């Protein structure tokens, strides 16, 4: 039995040994298309001469589905040199074909995928191990094997997003060359997921192409590394960027820089692609403020910075700055200047958490009008609730969160910032300062204020001028122009910028434009006071209005320097009380009213029109009496109704006429004052129309009626009382004389009759 079996095996071996691949293929009609292509390409002899090998033979259906032309390269890609049975295949196995031009100077590879079925590249083996001889096998497949494309083309098919990014650099052209490459390709369509949105936008932009090339070069090795042929362990390779990539392989997984390789050995004509789980982050890409500005879509601002020699702020790393970026379409090209751009650069790093309401930030705009100092930028912070707030730089609101790059901060704002404007133009907009603006024009000091560099200006409000009363009327009178100029200059300090925080830090005594010292101090509660060093201070009610040449603060009181001496005579001129001035002159009291602690009651000219002035001027005694009745020898009272007075709504004051000739000042429920002569008729009551305190401690009270002195007889009493008192005195004197005469007569009569007293 053994001998016949051996003879049979020998016979079969001889038969098989004499067969060729062509003969075996010819036996099956399903390979007729393959045979036809072999004949047309004159490859029959070449195939028959093969001593061993494996043919991956597409059937007729496979060729019918294949739309491309069949070439020598196509056919040769279906042959490998060694005969292999399917039980020798393993998953991920690579085999070199007879198609020359592989990346390692060998043949192009095919890849085996083995599970329940076996695939060669993407073709399934449908009939396996068709034996030609002991060293040659045919594996029937259902698809024509297409020779591998270049790495660039392969990437384009597998990840169009990544390829398009490569195409924006020279990398795509590089990967078309016949040099061998290994590429680690992310499967994600968001290749920059390891970078934030700003960095990602930058890398995608035309400005980030160099860094994008570095990014891709880091994923490429200029040699072919097949994972099927890679030994277990860890190996370091140098990428095209010059940086290291570490490939690790063991029985469980393969990684590059600890990133899992999800699909290895994707064959390409000039190399191999390994797909990885997520993109590699290249730490060698250095991001700076300039790149972040590009990524923040602030490219136009960057171009302007460069155009106006401000690009260094984006590139330097020694100091930190905060950049404010408005929308480009909101910028008026005519406003663009180095000064304007510098105002959008703030000294220091200012994240939202560090910003506080009403704070001032220092910008990089250095202004000649500020004496070479840097202009400030106001900040407003409105806290809606515990976790959010609304932030404004001047009038521009912040959009979104800040971007931080090496402690440089970038904010997007709703609109461009405007440089602080002309001081007069800025103050005109505040209706609460209209009186001050009017005095600037009247005094012709406006231009001087406007041209003062490094100006700190304390501006009294309208209410502050109202508190001056008649003094304000005098200051705007043509005769008081010099005094008004001095008063206004006293509120201005040159070449010394004082902002709110500066005024709170310490006490300042500074020389003003009036060449007088102004004192700025604060109390324990934080209120800031401005005034003469010896007192009479006004309160700062609003701070830090920025203007082109300095800063403006509102104050509650007009400050009058010591060199401005305002007298009662000045106030009478200011209110144009001409008749009263004439009366005082004729009564020789003009000089007296300007002494210390003298208060003048000044009826208006209209009030004097109701009396006979001619008769008054002819009667010197009556003239003097009337004039003296309108003079109170007393220091000015901040409150004319004394709280200690038993009469709660009135107080009495003696006049220069006499201690008996007093005037009574009353106050009604509205706080309005009126004045009348004590014991005089109520019909002669005068209403106070204005008050004004002067430097000597007195002042002027303007009234709408003339006070008439009470006519006095004997003893300084009114005539009626003088008559009554005189009659009483006559009666008493007559009675006393009668009694004396009576008793004198009796004594005389007794003595005449010879009566003598008995002792």
Per residue in 102-144, pLDDT (tens digit) is: 887 789 999 999 999 999 999 999 999 999 999 999 999 999 9
Task: Tell me the per-residue pLDDT of 361-389, one tens digit each, with 9 for 90 and over.
Answer: 999 999 999 999 999 999 999 887 555 67
Q: Is pLDDT larger for residue 691 or for residue 525?
A: 691
pLDDT number for residue 8: 42
Quote the mean pLDDT of the chain. Answer: 90
Q: How wide is the angle at C-alpha 77 spanned by C-alphas 72 and 81, nearest 5°?
A: 110
pLDDT number for residue 225: 93
Nearest alpha carbon to residue 698 among 612, 626, 640, 616: 640
pLDDT number for residue 571: 96
CATH topology of domain 568-710: FAS1 domain (2.30.180)
Question: Buried b / exposed e across 226-237, counting CB within 10 Å, b at 16+?
Answer: bbbeeeeeeeee
pLDDT number for residue 710: 87
Looking at domain 16-141, its CATH class is mainly beta
- 8 Å CB contact between 175 and 245: no
Mean pLDDT confidence for 391-412: 95
Give me the residue label for tokens 């704070």: 359
pLDDT number for residue 11: 45
Read off the tokens for 493. Answer: 């300090």
User: Is the model's pLDDT at 691 over the cut of 70?
Assistant: yes
In which band, very low, low, confident or very high, does the pLDDT at 729 lie, cut at 50, 70 and 90? confident
In which band, very low, low, confident or very high, does the pLDDT at 281 lie, cut at 50, 70 and 90? confident
Q: Cα separations (Å) of 220 from 92, 103, 155, 160, 241? A: 21, 14, 13, 18, 8
pLDDT number for residue 496: 94
DSSP 3-state assignment of 595?
coil
Q: How wide is the angle at C-alpha 66 spanned by C-alphas 64 and 68, nearest 5°?
A: 130
Q: How far apart are CA 653 and CA 660, in angstroms?
A: 10
Sheet holding 254-256, edge to edge: 220-221, 181-186, 271-276, 259-268, 254-256, 244-249, 233-238
Kindly tell me the burial class for residue 743, based on how many C-beta atoms sit within 10 Å of its own C-beta (0-12, 13-18, 19 or more): exposed
Write down the H helix ranges in 49-144.
60-65, 72-76
User: Is the model's pLDDT at 722 over the cut of 60?
Assistant: no
CATH code, 151-276: 2.30.180.10
Mean pLDDT confidence for 586-611: 94
Task: Tell me the per-residue pLDDT of 503-515, one tens digit each, with 9 for 90 and over.
Answer: 988 899 999 999 9
Nearest alpha carbon to residue 547 among 676, 746, 367: 367
Nearest alpha carbon to residue 181 among 103, 279, 266: 103
CB contact set of 548 (below 8 Å; sequence gap of 6+): 367, 369, 419, 420, 421, 422, 423
Mean pLDDT confidence for 425-429: 94
In which band, very low, low, confident or very high, does the pLDDT at 5 lie, cut at 50, 70 and 90? very low
Q: How far apart are CA 678 and CA 682, in angstroms?
A: 9
Which run of H or E residues covers position 485? helix 481-489
Q: Map out the domains of the chain as residue ranges.
A: 16-141, 151-276, 299-413, 423-555, 568-710, 719-752
pLDDT number for residue 89: 95
Give me the residue label for tokens 């036809």: 36
Return the CA Rg of the chain: 55
CATH topology of domain 299-413: FAS1 domain (2.30.180)
Q: How do beta strands 699-703 and 599-603 pair?
A: parallel
CB contact set of 333 (below 8 Å; sequence gap of 6+): none
User: Is the model's pLDDT at 594 over the cut of 80?
Assistant: yes
Which run of H or E residues covers position 571? helix 568-574
CB contact set of 361 (below 8 Å; sequence gap of 6+): 322, 346, 347, 348, 350, 376, 377, 379, 393
Fold: same for 16-141 and 568-710: yes
DSSP 3-state assignment of 119?
strand
In which band, very low, low, confident or very high, does the pLDDT at 488 lie, cut at 50, 70 and 90? very high
pLDDT number for residue 64: 94
Q: Is pLDDT larger for residue 743 or for residue 154?
A: 154
Mean pLDDT confidence for 406-427: 95
Give the lowest-confidence range in 189-198, 317-326, 486-495, 562-571: 189-198
Task: Tell me the per-residue pLDDT of 211-250, one tens digit each, with 9 for 90 and over.
Answer: 999 999 999 999 999 999 888 889 999 999 999 999 999 8
- 8 Å CB contact between 453 and 370: yes
Nearest alpha carbon to residue 21 among 100, 109, 144, 130: 130
Read off the tokens for 94. Answer: 């690579």
Half-sphere exposure of 323 (CA within 13 A, CB side): 26
In which band, very low, low, confident or very high, does the pLDDT at 738 lie, cut at 50, 70 and 90? confident
What does pTM read for this prediction? Answer: 0.79
Kindly tell me the burial class for residue 596, based on how many C-beta atoms sit within 10 Å of its own C-beta (0-12, 13-18, 19 or more): exposed
- C-alpha 302 chain-centroid distance: 19
- 8 Å CB contact between 1 and 27: no
- C-alpha 338 chain-centroid distance: 19
Mean pLDDT confidence for 721-726: 60
Output DSSP code: residue 718: B
Q: At what angle do helices 151-158 and 160-167 cross, to 10 degrees?
A: 130
| CB atoms near residue 467 (< 10 Å) | 17
User: Is the model's pLDDT at 7 over the cut of 50?
Assistant: no
Q: How wide is the angle at C-alpha 590 spanned by C-alphas 589 and 595, nearest 5°?
A: 90
pLDDT number for residue 721: 53
Q: How far apart are CA 131 and CA 19, in angstroms?
A: 10
Mean pLDDT confidence for 151-169: 92
Q: How far apart are CA 490 and CA 300, in angstroms?
A: 46
CATH architecture type of domain 423-555 = Roll (2.30)
Mean pLDDT confidence for 391-405: 94
pLDDT number for residue 713: 53
User: Is the model's pLDDT at 471 over the cut of 80?
Assistant: yes
Mean pLDDT confidence for 420-435: 95
> What phi, psi does 108 have (nearest 5°)?
-65, 145
Q: How do beta strands 181-186 and 271-276 pair?
A: parallel
User: Is the model's pLDDT at 287 over the cut of 90?
Assistant: yes
- C-alpha 681 chain-centroid distance: 68
DSSP 3-state assignment of 442?
helix
User: Is the model's pLDDT at 665 over the cut of 60?
Assistant: yes
> What phi, psi does 274 have (nearest 5°)?
-120, 120
């Amino acid at each position: 039995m053994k001998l016949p079996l051996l003879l049979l095996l020998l016979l079969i071996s001889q038969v098989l040994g004499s067969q060729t691949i062509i003969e075996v293929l010819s036996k099956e009609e399903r390979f007729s298309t393959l045979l036809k292509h072999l004949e047309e390409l004159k490859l029959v002899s070449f195939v028959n001469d093969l001593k061993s090998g494996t043919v991956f033979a597409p059937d007729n259906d496979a060729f019918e589905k294949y739309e491309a032309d069949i070439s020598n390269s196509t056919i040769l890609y279906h042959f490998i040199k060694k005969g292999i049975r399917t039980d020798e295949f393993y998953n991920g196995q690579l085999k070199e074909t007879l198609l020359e031009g592989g990346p390692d100077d060998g043949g192009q590879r095919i890849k085996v995928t083995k599970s329940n079925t076996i695939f060669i590249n993407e073709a399934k083996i449908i009939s396996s191990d068709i034996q030609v001889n002991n060293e040659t096998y045919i594996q029937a497949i259902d698809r024509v094997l297409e020779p591998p494309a270049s790495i660039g083309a392969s990437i384009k098919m597998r990840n169009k997003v990544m390829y398009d990014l490569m195409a924006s650099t020279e990398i795509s052209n590089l990967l078309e060359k016949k040099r061998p490459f290994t590429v680690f390709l992310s499967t994600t369509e968001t290749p920059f997921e390891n970078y934030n949105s700003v960095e990602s936008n930058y890398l995608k932009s035309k400005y980030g192409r160099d860094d994008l090339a570095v990014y891709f070069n880091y994923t490429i090795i200029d040699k072919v590394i097949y994972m099927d042929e890679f030994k277990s362990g860890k190996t370091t390779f140098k990428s095209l960027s010059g940086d290291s990539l570490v490939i690790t392989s063991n029985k469980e997984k393969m990684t590059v820089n600890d990133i899992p390789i999800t699909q290895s050995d994707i064959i390409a004509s000039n190399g191999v692609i390994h797909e990885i789980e997520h993109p590699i982050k290249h730490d060698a890409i250095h991001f700076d403020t300039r790149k972040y500005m590009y990524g923040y879509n602030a490219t136009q601002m960057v171009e302007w910075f460069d155009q106006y020699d401000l690009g260094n702020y984006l590139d330097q790393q020694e100091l930190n700055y905060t950049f404010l970026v408005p929308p480009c379409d909101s910028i008026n090209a005519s406003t663009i200047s180095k000064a304007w751009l510098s105002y959008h650069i703030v000294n220091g790093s200012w994240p939202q958490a560090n910003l506080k309401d009403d704070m001032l930030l220092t910008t990089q705009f250095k202004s000649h009008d500020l004496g070479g100092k840097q202009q400030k930028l106001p900040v407003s912070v409105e806290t809606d609730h515990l976790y959010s707030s609304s932030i404004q730089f001047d009038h521009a609101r912040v959009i979104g969160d800040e971007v931080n790059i090496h402690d440089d901060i970038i904010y997007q704002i709703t609109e461009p910032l405007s440089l602080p404007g002309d001081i007069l133009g800025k103050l005109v907009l505040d209706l609460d300062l209209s009186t001050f603006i009017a005095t600037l024009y009247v005094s012709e000091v406006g231009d001087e204020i406007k041209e003062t560099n490094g100006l700190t200006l304390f501006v009294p409000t309208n209410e502050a001028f109202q508190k001056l009363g008649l003094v304000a009327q005098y200051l705007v009178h043509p005769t008081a122009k010099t005094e008004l100029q001095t008063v206004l200059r006293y509120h201005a300090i040159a070449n010394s910028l004082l902002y709110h925080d500066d005024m709170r830090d310490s006490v300042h005594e500074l020389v003003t434009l009036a060449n007088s010292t102004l004192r700025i101090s604060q109390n324990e509660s934080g209120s800031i006071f401005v005034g003469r060093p010896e007192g009479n201070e006004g309160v700062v009610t609003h701070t830090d209005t920025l203007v082109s040449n300095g800063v403006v603060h509102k104050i509650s009181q007009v400050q009058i320097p010591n060199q401005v001496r305002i007298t009662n005579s000045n106030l009478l001129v200011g209110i144009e009380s001409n008749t009263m001035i004439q009366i005082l002159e004729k009564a020789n009291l003009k000089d007296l009213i300007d002494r210390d602690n003298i208060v003048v009651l000044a009826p208006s000219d209209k009030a004097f029109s109701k009396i006979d002035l001619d008769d008054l001027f002819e009667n010197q005694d009556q003239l003097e009496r009337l004039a003296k009745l309108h003079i109170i020898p007393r220091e000015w009272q901040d409150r004319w109704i004394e709280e200690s007075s038993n009469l709660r709504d009135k107080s009495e004051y003696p006049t220069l006429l006499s201690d008996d000739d007093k005037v009574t000042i009353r106050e009604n429920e509205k706080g309005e004052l009126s004045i009348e002569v004590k014991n005089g008729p109520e019909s002669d009551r005068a209403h106070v129309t204005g008050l004004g305190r002067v430097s000597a401690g007195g002042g002027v009270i303007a009234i709408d009626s003339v006070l008439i002195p009470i006519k006095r007889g004997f003893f300084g009493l009114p005539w009626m009382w003088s008559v009554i008192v005189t009659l009483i005195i006559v009666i008493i004197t007559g009675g006393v004389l009668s009694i004396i005469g009576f008793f004198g007569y009796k004594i005389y009569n007794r003595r005449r009759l010879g009566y003598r007293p008995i002792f």
